[in-house]
Structure formats: structure tokens, C-alpha cells
A and B are shown apart, each in its own frame.
Chain A
Amino acid sequence: MSFFYLIQTNGVVSKTYQIRQEKQRLEKLRAEKSTLEIEAARLQSPANLGEIAKTLGMEEAVKVVYLKEKGAVAIKK
């Protein structure tokens, strides 16, 4: 009995340390994910996109043209 108890206790202790390590890894990955989300938000912000557009020499679309269809719009072949 004592022998089995010893083996079980050893097993529990070993698994506990494994769980602890995995939890630490999980926390690290969570922190990394959060950092990346913040960075993605910064990159997608209109202020940043405006800067990039300016650097690439893009111009603001002043006028949008809407096409109006009369009658059927499917193409007949």
C-alpha cells in the first residue's frame, strides 16, 4: 500500500510541475497574442493607414461614380 501511495504521490508531483510549466507557457503566449493584437490595431488605425498612403503617393478618391443599370443586367450570350 505504502509503495503504491509513494508512486502515486510522485506521479502527482511530476504532473503538477508539468502543469505549472504549461500554464507559464500559456501565459506567455497570451501576453504575446495581446501584444500582437495591440500592434495590429495600431497598424490598422486610420492615422497609420493615412501615413502609409501618403508615403506610397496615393491620392484621396474625390469622386465616386455609381453605375446605373436600366433593364435586365444579365449578359446574354
Chain B
Amino acid sequence: MRRFTQWRIQILFIITLFIGGIIIARLFSLQILKYNFYSASAQNQHQLYQKLFPKRGGIFIQDLKSKEYLPLATNKEFQQVYAVPKLILQEKREEIARQLSPLLDLDEEIILNRINKPEDPYEPLKHKVDEDLAQQIQSLKIKGIELVKETWRYYPAGSLASHLVGFVGLKDEMEIGQYGLEGYYEEKLKGAAGFLEGWKDILGYLIPAAAQKTQPAQDGSDLILTIDQNIQFKAEKELEEVIKKWSADEGTIIVMEPKSGAIRALANWPNFNPNEYFKVEDINVFLNSSIQKIYEPGSVFKPITMAAGLNQGLINPQTAYEDLGYVKIKNSIIRNAADRSYGVSTMTNVLENSINTGAVFVQQKMSHEAFRQYVEDFGFDRPTGIDLTGEIGGDISNLSENRDINFATASFGQGVAITPLELITALAAVANQGKVMRPFAVEKIIEPNGQEIITEPQIVKEVIYPKTAVQLTRMLISTIENSYDRKAQVKGYDVAGKTGTAQVPNLESGGYSDKTIHTFVGFAPAFDPKFIVLIKIDNPKGIRFASDSITPVFRRLAEYMFNYFEIPPK
């Protein structure tokens, strides 16, 4: 009996030891081997870590008349429609796809593919759904179709100033500013993300009394533009009309304040709606042709040659020479437009009648080095430094070769390629007593703490004497009043300006094609200018000269701005 009892005790001891061993092994597994896993899991249940997203800064256009700032780029709340496929009954799927297809503007098949995943907890169906449509979808009360709020970049004015603003696109699932101001000021606009670390309650909300670490998100800065919404709108409207009228391929209008370099309008055609940038098929449309494309400007370059000659004291407005209609340089012959000859002509006549041989006459009076120096000092060999993404500088490499013919053709704008912004910036110096200003599009940056960083106008170079600038301005007024450019004249006001009808180089066979680019640059009131305007259209059909195609556009824009700025006639 005693032996039997001892045997039972031994069995019990062994069983206890075995079970104890299992428990210890399990505890070892849970507490030691899987410590990291369970520790993290427990923390997840109680701890809260939230990334705090900053609000992207806004971009505001001005209304110089009412002194108001209006949003050109802002952040807007939309709804996202998504499906929870695991909650959707199989027999309902086709019906749901049929119901949602017309509302979401998505093929039934696409919707069906997305909701046909029985284990899937989340399938996005449509972003950027507006409030009305969201309510319509909500009223259908479909089980497994949900809505959630999301913020997207929004451009209330649609395509207005699209090349200036650019857009916010996605790169590696992150929002990033592309093109224009959105690209140039990305660092300022995007702000900095923060985080929130603490303990959460049963509903998942932060418990304020518990220990926590917070680094608040820093919102982006706001940009206040120099652009006036009314002038911008007028410029875009005029540009679209003239392009359609002459079936041109593309075009540009820039309006600048010559004394400061502030851009008041910058319009390119074709443009795009930044809210729907993904619908644009040809990405070249995103290029801002005012700063990202170069072209040979033609006769509108002649005032630069004239400025160099006047400033060097080599000529004056009355200096005369005899125009034979052509000039021979070694084996090359340079002719005037339409093979015309004007006989004895003054330098003022050279601009009035846009005489190529006259420009060559001035250029030949100075050394190659001196001419090249003026071209560089006016800023044609480098970007102007405007605060927009992707600006390129002009190509004046022809002037490095020291060939007489290259300098002769450059004197009337052939063989040198420049951007429209470089051209208007250079001619603005003539309107601004010889000072080249850096063009800029942002008047001030407002930091999240309210501090304002104001852009000060910046003189890049005093390229000609004020006296030279006045002489040249008089010659350019005469050009408007006495030449075929009379269409740009506005009664009661002094307007200075020059056209250019440039031939487009034929890249395949060499030489020049039949295509032309028409440019006009004018400023007014000439001796106290409030604005300078550049108008350019590419390859207009059925019209030969810029003096006929785009000078009326300048006149209408000038009349508009005289009224807008309340500038009385002289």
C-alpha cells in the first residue's frame, strides 16, 4: 500500500514537472523570444503616433484696383469614394457597379474589378469628388461603399496664369510642386511635417493628461504675386483671339513694370487647366515659352544695336547713310525686307522703316568685342533670374566665332536666339533710364508666423546712359508715329515700340523656312512708363508682317491699361 502511494506521488511529481516545464517553455517563448513582437503590439494598443501634415501655402494674385489678394492656388477639401470589398455581398456587386458607373464616370468593368476582391478591406474608387456628388452617393446607402475627406491642391481660376503657377503633381506618392511658382517655391510652399506621440484612450483619441511629445507641423508660406488678375485676364483674352484670328501655332504676352521689373501679366498659348494637368497629352504644353524656349527675334532686336551705337557716341539719331537695299559682307549679301531700298536714311529712319542695312551700318562702326559686350550686358547670354522654374538663357554663341557675317546678322536679330523674357527685360532698360532690372513674379512671401519678406527691385546692370535711353526712346516714339507701325499708336499718349518679323530657321535643309515669328515690344507713357508689353505669335497664316498682325493687340492692351491705371492723356 505504501509502495503504491509512493509510486502515485512520483507520477504526480513527474506530471507536475512536465506541465511546469511546458509553462516555463511557453513563458520563455512569449517573454523572451517574442518580446519585441508583443511589446510592440501592446504599445500599438495604447500608444499613439501621428504624423502631422503641414498646410501647403497659398498663391495669391493681386487686384491692383481694389488692393485685394485673391487665391490662385489653394487647398480644398474633397471627398474620396472607396470600397470595402469584403463587406459587399457577391450577388450585389454587379448592381453596385451599374449604379456607381455613371456617377463616378468610371466603366462598370473597372468598378467590378475593384470590388471583386472578397478579402480586400480597401479599394479606392475615385478621388476629388465634390460635395454634391458625395451626397448623392451617400444617399444610395450602399453597404461597403464609403466616403472620406481628403485635401487637394485647387486652382479656383482654372487656366488663368497657368504657366506662372504650374501645378502640384505626385512623385513617389508624395505631392510636389512642378513647373512655375509651385516648382520654384516648393520648399517655401510645402512647409514641414510634425508628429504627435502620446497615449490613446479606448476610442483611439489622445489622452491629454498622459505624457506626450509633440512637434507641430509648420505650414507653408503664402506667396503674393506681382501679377494683376485683370491685366492677366485681358492679356490672355487678347492672346487667344489673335492666335485664333491668324491660326498661329503658339504665342506669348508679357506685361512688366519697367521701373521695378515686376511682372504684371504673363500669358502663353496654348495653356492648360492645372486642376486637370493629367489630361494634357503633350507635355510641351507645360513649358513656359516666355522663359523656356529661345527664338531668333528679328528686327525687334535693332533697338539694342542702336542703343550700343548711341551709347558709344558712334552715331546720333540724325546720323545719315545711304541705303542701297543690300550690303555685301565677304561672299554674303544681306538685303532689306521685301528687297526694298530707302536711299539716304537717318538712324531714326532705320528704326521707322526697319532697315537691315542700317543696323549693319551701326554694328560695323564698333568692334566685335564692344558689340558682344553690349549684347551680354543687356542680358542675352544668361537667364534673367526670374523666380520661375526652368528658365534658360539665350544662345549668342555665334558672336564667339568672330565672323563678320555673324555680327552683321545679329545686328538685326538673326543668328542669335533669345527668350521673350530676355527681350522685354532688355528693352525695359531703355524705358528705365538704362537700368536692367531683374524680373520677378512674387511681390512678397508671408511666413506662417505673419512675417513678410518683401521682394526689393534689383538693378542688374546700368547698361546705357540715361541720355542714350532718352534719345532711343524718342526714336522709338517716332517709329510708332511715322512708320507702318502706326497701328500701335494711342491718341494722346507717347508710345515707344518696335516690331520684328523673324524668319524661322529651317533645321533640315539649313537657311530659313517660310514660317515667321511676329514680335512687338512697346512701352508707355514713353517718358514715364507704367508698363512695357511684349507680344509674340508663332507661324501666323495669311499675314506677312508683325506690324499688321499684333500691333492692334498692343493698342488695345495699352488703351486698357491707360484706363485701368487712370493715366490721363498728355
Which residues of A pack against B, CB within 8 Å? 9, 12, 16, 19-20, 31, 34-35, 37-38, 41-42, 44-47, 61, 64, 66
Complex Cα gap A24–B476 (Å) = 63
Q: Are B207 and A41 interface neighbours, CB within 8 A?
A: no
Q: Is B470 an interface residue (CB 8 A)?
A: no
B206 to nearest A CB, angstroms?
9
Q: Are A34 and B229 interface neighbours, CB within 8 A?
A: no
Q: Could you say which residues of chain B place their CB within 8 Å of the CB of A31?
A: 77
For B230, give the chain A residue with the smallest CB separation.
A46
Complex Cα gap A21–B562 (Å) = 54
Give residues of chain B (120-175) contacting chain A, Cβ–Cβ below 8 Å: 154, 156-157, 160
Complex Cα gap A9–B71 (Å) = 46
Q: Is B511 an interface residue (CB 8 A)?
A: no
Q: Could you say which residues of chain B place their CB within 8 Å of the CB of A35?
A: 76-77
B122 to nearest A CB, angstroms?
24
Q: List 16 A-B contacts (CB under 8 A).
A: A12-B208, A20-B205, A34-B77, A37-B71, A37-B74, A38-B71, A38-B74, A38-B154, A44-B68, A45-B156, A45-B157, A47-B157, A64-B562, A64-B566, A66-B568, A66-B569
Q: Are A41 and B205 interface neighbours, CB within 8 A?
A: no
Q: Are A61 and B563 interface neighbours, CB within 8 A?
A: yes
Q: Are B157 and A38 interface neighbours, CB within 8 A?
A: no
A16 to nearest B CB, angstroms?
5
Interface secondary structure of A, over-half rule:
helix
Q: Is B75 an interface residue (CB 8 A)?
A: yes
B259 to nearest A CB, angstroms?
23
Q: Could you say which residues of chain A place their CB within 8 Å of the CB of B75?
A: 34
Beyond A45-B229, A66-B569, is A12–B209 a contact (Cβ under 8 Å)? yes
Complex Cα gap A12–B568 (Å) = 68
Q: Are A34 and B74 interface neighbours, CB within 8 A?
A: yes
Best-surrounded residue of A38, A42, A66 (most CB of chain B within 10 A): A38
For A47, give the chain B residue with the smallest CB separation.
B233
B448 to nearest A CB, angstroms?
15
Complex Cα gap A42–B566 (Å) = 26
Q: Are B156 and A42 interface neighbours, CB within 8 A?
A: yes
Complex Cα gap A47–B74 (Å) = 19
Beyond A12-B209, A20-B205, is A47–B160 a contact (Cβ under 8 Å)? yes
Q: Is B64 an interface residue (CB 8 A)?
A: no
Complex Cα gap A11–B75 (Å) = 37
Complex Cα gap A46–B229 (Å) = 7
Beyond A34-B74, A66-B568, is A16–B208 a contact (Cβ under 8 Å)? yes
Q: Is B386 an interface residue (CB 8 A)?
A: no
Q: Could you say which residues of chain A place their CB within 8 Å of the CB of B208?
A: 12, 16, 19
Q: Are A46 and B76 interface neighbours, CB within 8 A?
A: no
Q: Could you say which residues of chain A place their CB within 8 Å of the CB of B63?
A: 44
Q: Could you say which residues of chain B place their CB within 8 Å of the CB of A38?
A: 71, 74, 76, 154, 156
B191 to nearest A CB, angstroms?
16
Complex Cα gap A34–B77 (Å) = 9
Complex Cα gap A46–B76 (Å) = 21
Beyond A42-B156, A47-B160, is A34–B70 a contact (Cβ under 8 Å)? no
Q: Could you say which residues of chain B place their CB within 8 Å of the CB of A20?
A: 205
Q: A47-B157, A64-B562 are in contact. List 14 more A-B contacts (CB 8 A).
A: A16-B209, A37-B71, A38-B71, A38-B76, A38-B154, A41-B156, A42-B156, A44-B63, A44-B68, A44-B70, A45-B156, A45-B157, A46-B229, A66-B568
Complex Cα gap A64–B205 (Å) = 64
Complex Cα gap A37–B156 (Å) = 10
Q: Are A45 and B160 interface neighbours, CB within 8 A?
A: yes
The contact string, 1 if C-beta is below 8 Å from chain A, for chain B 509-543, is: 00000000000000000000000000000000000
The contact string, 1 if C-beta is below 8 Å from chain A, for chain B 89-105, is: 00000000000000000
Give residues of chain B (167-219) contacting chain A, Cβ–Cβ below 8 Å: 205, 207-209
Please name the 8 residue pairs, one residue from A and one from B, whose CB atoms are nearest each other, closest first: A46-B233, A66-B568, A41-B70, A41-B156, A38-B156, A64-B563, A41-B71, A12-B209
Complex Cα gap A44–B69 (Å) = 11
Complex Cα gap A2–B34 (Å) = 38
Q: Could you say which residues of chain A place their CB within 8 Å of the CB of B209?
A: 9, 12, 16
Q: Could you say which residues of chain A place their CB within 8 Å of the CB of B157?
A: 41-42, 45, 47
Complex Cα gap A61–B564 (Å) = 11
Q: Could you say which residues of chain B place their CB within 8 Å of the CB of A19?
A: 208
Q: Are B569 and A34 interface neighbours, CB within 8 A?
A: no
Q: Could you say which residues of chain A place their CB within 8 Å of the CB of B207?
A: 16
Complex Cα gap A38–B75 (Å) = 9
Complex Cα gap A38–B154 (Å) = 9
For B159, give the chain A residue with the smallest CB separation.
A47
Give residues of chain B (51-81) contacting chain A, Cβ–Cβ below 8 Å: 63, 68, 70-71, 74-77
Q: Could you say which residues of chain A place their CB within 8 Å of the CB of B68?
A: 44
Complex Cα gap A34–B153 (Å) = 12
Complex Cα gap A9–B205 (Å) = 16
Q: Are B76 and A34 interface neighbours, CB within 8 A?
A: yes
Q: Could you say which residues of chain B place their CB within 8 Å of the CB of A37?
A: 71, 74
Complex Cα gap A33–B370 (Å) = 60
For B562, give the chain A residue with the smallest CB separation.
A64
Complex Cα gap A20–B205 (Å) = 9
Complex Cα gap A7–B136 (Å) = 47
Q: Could you say which residues of chain B place their CB within 8 Å of the CB of A46?
A: 229-230, 233-234
Complex Cα gap A34–B569 (Å) = 43
B381 to nearest A CB, angstroms?
38
Complex Cα gap A42–B229 (Å) = 12
A50 to nearest B CB, angstroms?
8
For B63, give the chain A residue with the smallest CB separation.
A44
Complex Cα gap A49–B76 (Å) = 23
Q: Could you say which residues of chain A place their CB within 8 Å of the CB of B566?
A: 64
Q: Could you say which residues of chain B place their CB within 8 Å of the CB of A42?
A: 156-157
For B563, give the chain A residue with the smallest CB separation.
A64
For A44, give the chain B residue with the smallest CB separation.
B70
Complex Cα gap A56–B324 (Å) = 60
Complex Cα gap A12–B75 (Å) = 35
